[in-house]
């Protein structure tokens, strides 16, 4: 295995692991953490305070995962490739569009919806929680679809 092949493997591993961390954290939050919090805390205000403490600083970890996905993907894109078919170019273009959509969506959630959640009245929280669950599900689909397209692009 030459140096270029080792670099490609390292970039692919980084790309896959960062994407898995991103996907896994959202999956855990939506399907494990939130339902258990709802069962544990009867009082919505108490639950919200716990979520705020629990999620403090998580934004930076998500940004790191997204950055690693983007940079490793760009690195893979710039590496020489034996076959660069039209199908492969389309798949990579769709992957890039999905990544950009995910990042923009994350930005909207993090810097607009989250501050609104911080200052919401308790009566507003159920609707805000529903919006966050829907947004989380959309993000999960976007990131999962991006991963699936990456597998397809690899074999194309």
For residue 52, what pLDDT is reported?
A: 87
SS (H, E, C) 44-65: HHHHHHHHHHHHCCHHHHHHHH
For residue 82, what pLDDT is reported?
A: 75
- Where along the chain do its domains lie? 3-155
Residue 91 to residue 133: CA distance in whole angstroms: 28
> Is the pLDDT assigned to residue 83 strictly greater than 80?
no
Note whether 135 and 113 are within 8 A (CB).
yes
Residue 154 to residue 148: CA distance in whole angstroms: 10
For residue 105, what pLDDT is reported?
A: 93
Indicate the Cα dihedral angle 107, 111, 117, 118, nearest 10°. 140
For the stretch 25-81, pLDDT in tens is 999 999 999 899 989 998 888 999 999 898 888 999 999 999 999 999 999 999 887
Residue 77 to residue 105: CA distance in whole angstroms: 24
Q: Which pTM value belongs to this model?
A: 0.89
For the stretch 98-151, pLDDT in tens is 999 999 999 999 999 999 998 999 999 999 999 999 999 999 999 999 999 999
């Amino acid at each position: 295995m030459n140096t270029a092949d080792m670099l490609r493997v390292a970039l692919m591993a980084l790309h896959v692991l960062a994407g898995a961390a991103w996907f896994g954290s959202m999956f855990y939050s939506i399907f494990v953490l939130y339902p258990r919090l709802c069962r544990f805390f009867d009082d919505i205000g108490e639950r919200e305070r716990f979520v705020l403490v629990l999620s403090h600083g998580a934004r930076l970890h998500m940004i790191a995962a997204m950055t690693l996905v983007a940079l490793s993907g760009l690195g893979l894109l710039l590496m020489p490739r034996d076959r660069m078919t039209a199908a492969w170019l389309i798949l990579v273009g769709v992957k890039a569009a999905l990544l950009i959509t995910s990042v923009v969506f994350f930005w909207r959630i993090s810097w607009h919806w989250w501050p609104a959640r911080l200052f919401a009245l308790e009566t507003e929280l159920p609707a805000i929680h529903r919006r966050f669950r829907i947004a989380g599900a959309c993000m999960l689909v976007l990131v999962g679809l991006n991963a699936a397209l990456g597998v397809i692009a690899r074999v194309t």
